[in-house]
Structure 1
Amino acid sequence: MGVEFKRAIRFIESHGIILVFPINNRREPSSLWYQFFPRTEMRWEWDETGQDGVAALWHLRTELSVSSRVVYTKWYRGRATFFSKSVFTAMLTLLRSSSSTRTGLGEDASRILEILRSDSPLSTKVIKQLSDLQGRFHEASYQRAMKELWNRLFIVAFGEVEDSSFPSLAVGATNLLFEELWDESRGLSQAKAEEIITRALPAKSPFLKYFSGIRKGLEL
């Protein structure tokens, strides 16, 4: 774990929530890319003309995800997102207080969650097999189910699995891979959770707006 790893941990903990790569090269929401390369726009290319920083950050993302020092998800608008453990726990507290654990989960999301609570982490390929959501016909249902689980922080990403020509994201149930955070979220008061989030995120933070939208959806 070199200097880049340690710097990334500091960036994640100081921001509370941060994307891995920027959206359309915008500086907001914050991204690790612009923390490491503040003067360089990102080009998403993987051939010989590509930027070394893209590949380096991709590999660093994997290293960070399995470190248990921070939490990696596909959360903000389905993008690769890192959380500090304190902000993740606080948000989990508030999301769980907005509904019971399974309230509002669709049938597919509930089935995937049950699978992952039995065995985690699993590759995308295996999750699709076990949930009977393989193939192009079921792709939209699979993506919709996963979005439900990502948004509510019920699942996290944890490394990659070499089960195809391109490594597949490994996904697991939060209560198994971050059991201490899951348990801590149950004992944290809503007031304290709100305080942690308010302290970590600016009032106009896109992340805060996205989180508020998820909470409102659960309370309807």
Structure 2
Amino acid sequence: MDEKEKQPKNKNKKPKHKHPNNNNNQPTSSYSFTPSSKVKGLRFGGQLIIKSFTIRRARPLETLRLLSLPPTHHPLPSTTTFLPTNFTILAHHAWHTLTLGLGTKKSKVVIFVFESENMKNEVDRLWPVEIPLGEVNRKLVRGLTDCEMARFKFRKGCITFYVYAVRKIGNVGFKCADELRVVLEYIVALNDFMDHTAMLALPNQRSIGFAPVAAMAH
């Protein structure tokens, strides 16, 4: 037999890349918290124009709708969500057209789950309602100087979810572990978002905005 034939065929095969979602099915107690100055922030690749696109703070019901939580589920009291603005959705489409399909079609959703409702309310008063993506790492993630975070990243089609669990430095465990678990489990269960105009057009994912139901006349 030829020497070449004796060599294993898979010698040069690259190891399979593990999807980031696969590593998050672990108990909350094993989540790795890192000081905010060292935790990984948002990634932008080589397309720096994306940094100028904006995200806005979501209302509580928008977060429930985004995650496809049941209508009867109570709002997430310790969670703050930032969604792409309408400008960002349109800008992504324009950028993709101008670059003849080479521009990214991926947008970002950023979710912060705080260790308490009081902590969330305090931070919400300090953070802007709307912010360019390029300032999120410096003003939101790194801005919480006395905190540490556990970071999770999920790719769902054209949307990348960044989830940060936030606690004060020196605290042990995570008081809102159940709320964090709900957020992570429902993101994992989401269908992939296909494009920005129909990013929530799948069952139970119809709109990234929330319009209150008008009262019916009797």
TM-score by length of 2: 0.26
- Larger helix proportion, structure 1 or 2? 1
Greater per-residue strand proportion: 2
The structure having more radius of gyration, on CA atoms, is 2
